[in-house]
Amino acid sequence: MIILSTRGSSFGRHFVLPFMVLTHTRACVTHALLFGFILMGIGAAVPLADAQKVEMLVDVSKAGAKIDRNIFGQFAEHLGHGIYDGIWVGPDSTIPNTRGIRNDVVEALKAIRVPNIRWPGGCFADEYHWRNGIGPADKRAVTLNPNWGGVIEPNTFGTHEFMDFLDQIGAEAYISVNVGSGTPREAAEWLEYLTTAQPTTLAKERATNGHSAPYKVAYLGIGNESWDCGGNMTPDYYLSQLKIYSRFVRNFNPAQQDKQQMLKIAVGPGGGEPRWTEWTDTVMKAYQNHTWSWDINGLSMHSYTLVKWPPSYASLGFGETEYAQILKSTLEMDDLISKHSAIMDKYDPQKKVALVVDEWGAWYAPLPGSNPGFLDQQNSLRDAILAALNINIFARHADRVRMANIAQMANVLQAMVLTDKANMVLTPTYYAFKMYVPFQDSIFVPVTFEAGSYTHSEIKLPRVDAIAAKNKEGKLWLALTNVDPNQAAEIEVSLTDLNAKSAVGETLTAPKVDSVNTFEAPNTVVPKPISANIAGGKVSVKLEPKSVTVISVEQ
């Protein structure tokens, strides 16, 4: 039994790490646990070369839940260079832009089909007053950002700029309203301003500011981490706020009344400790008994990979020990989801309320010389593997986890893109997201396999991980990760109900676990084509050490 503490005192949580055991459908977890441990015992006696072969069985006839495209969502907070420089350079910038929004970033994000973006925070959201961010740019209030470096917030990126950005990349709005220091009236007026088609004073103001048609707001976050930076509320106090905001913060868009209704997401847990199980229990119990006057569709969960608080692991220049420790820590996501899903199941067995993991990713020490409040970090091959492992976990819980937002999209924490003035570089995590695009809205297909183990000093991890899914056209996709940084893995996939003819795809690896892409060398960690062998109906593919591979199977 391995006990880990992952987020310091106030954020602390403890888990039992289920190493060695990877399963495919949660219905057969118990069976798979036994199976996994039995094979682990056998594996110890098998010569190393044989132990690197992994047989998988993909039963294409067994369809699971839909892997909601929203699990590939992003989070963009007014924090460091996340918005300013990362997305917004202003219309007068020499950096190519469309109405102030960087063209290079837009092009990059379009290619990974970002489904939704959570904005404006984070902790920032509970101090954000939307009126500061509308109207002529030169008349906007200049405020402070006390959460993140105490810097000036120019408010030049506000509601219209965010909605324009979404429009440019084709994503949906996930707006987090201010519960901590705002009022229900302020939030209600923001939503009226955004969504009404009637000629109200707020709608006219929106038109004057350049948008006469109502905007679509797909998701509404009611507060952020209200148990801490969002106001240090007790579960009961938050619940009373939640009911008020859920009741009065309305979406008036005519196109969102019957279909495409705005989904409301309540603040949920930030770990697995009793204070957070109590939180989930309080909100879900109230949900079970809710009246017509309030409702929620999602419960948010935040879980960063950081091993200990404050974050002290380096984002570059690390070795195998830190690689193994971080990946071990990230796999705790599975237990955390199971724990809160079990509470949700008690009050919502039909799984109407989604678990929304709207902040996740690696949180490392700030880069030397950077403003510690800006959460600047590099992004390495380790992060691409970490992303793949988490996406696989979300996919296995697809019946409950229907949305997730990696933190954060540009220049902050585990970013997709890093920018510096006119330069932009795509991170290894970006490429993992790009390779997983075919899994968006695909149907989960169970994979049975015994993962084997990768051991580094006292750390033992499942050596490989895999998910499979069928897309709308019926094509089968496999995502295969080799966690072991030293040994390749020979994967042999047997497919029931599918006559494989060929299988091709891409693989992402690099010389070292801490390989990164830089402005000078942007192609160190980029996907390369890979093809599998087909013999006797089986698909065989060799996974390079420390790699993520996605292949499609043609029949």
Q: Which residues are catalytic?
A: 225, 359
Task: Tell whether the torsion through CA atoms of 9, 404, 20 and 385 is positive or negative.
Answer: negative
Distance from C-alpha of 543 to C-alpha of 305, rounded to nearest angstrom: 25
Is 245:187 a contact under the CB 8 Å cutoff? yes
Q: How is residue 444 written in tokens?
A: 């989960």
Q: How far is the CB of 116 from ligand AHR (least distance, A)?
A: 16
Contacts of 430 (CB under 8 A, 6+ apart): 108, 112, 416, 417
Q: How far is the CB of 128 from ligand AHR (least distance, A)?
A: 11
- CB neighbours of residue 172 within 10 Å: 17
- The residue ranges of DSSP E strands in 464-543, in sequence order, are 464-470, 476-482, 489-496, 502-508, 528-531, 533-535, 538-543
Which residue, 10 or 201, has its beta carbon nearer to ligand AHR?
Answer: 10
Which residue, 153 or 465, has its beta carbon nearer to ligand AHR?
Answer: 153
- CB neighbours of residue 528 within 10 Å: 11
Q: How far is the CB of 210 from ligand AHR (least distance, A)?
A: 29
Q: How far is the CB of 366 from ligand AHR (least distance, A)?
A: 12
Identify residue 248 by its one-letter amino acid code: F
Which residue, 32 or 413, has its beta carbon nearer to ligand AHR?
Answer: 413
By CB under 6 A, name the binding residues for ligand AHR. Answer: 77, 121-123, 224-225, 229, 359, 407-408, 413
Q: How far is the CB of 224 from ligand AHR (least distance, A)?
A: 5
Distance from C-alpha of 159 to C-alpha of 162, rounded to nearest angstrom: 5
Which residue, 58 or 299, has its beta carbon nearer to ligand AHR?
Answer: 299
Contacts of 323 (CB under 8 A, 6+ apart): 382, 456, 485, 513, 514, 546
Question: Minimal CA–CA distance to 496: which of 468, 532, 462, 472?
Answer: 468
Q: How far is the CB of 155 from ligand AHR (least distance, A)?
A: 18
Closest residue to bound ligand AHR by CB: 122
Is 468:448 a contact under the CB 8 Å cutoff? no
Is 74:449 a contact under the CB 8 Å cutoff? no
- CB neighbours of residue 164 within 10 Å: 16
Which residue, 413 or 435, has its beta carbon nearer to ligand AHR?
Answer: 413
Which residue, 359 or 376, has its beta carbon nearer to ligand AHR?
Answer: 359
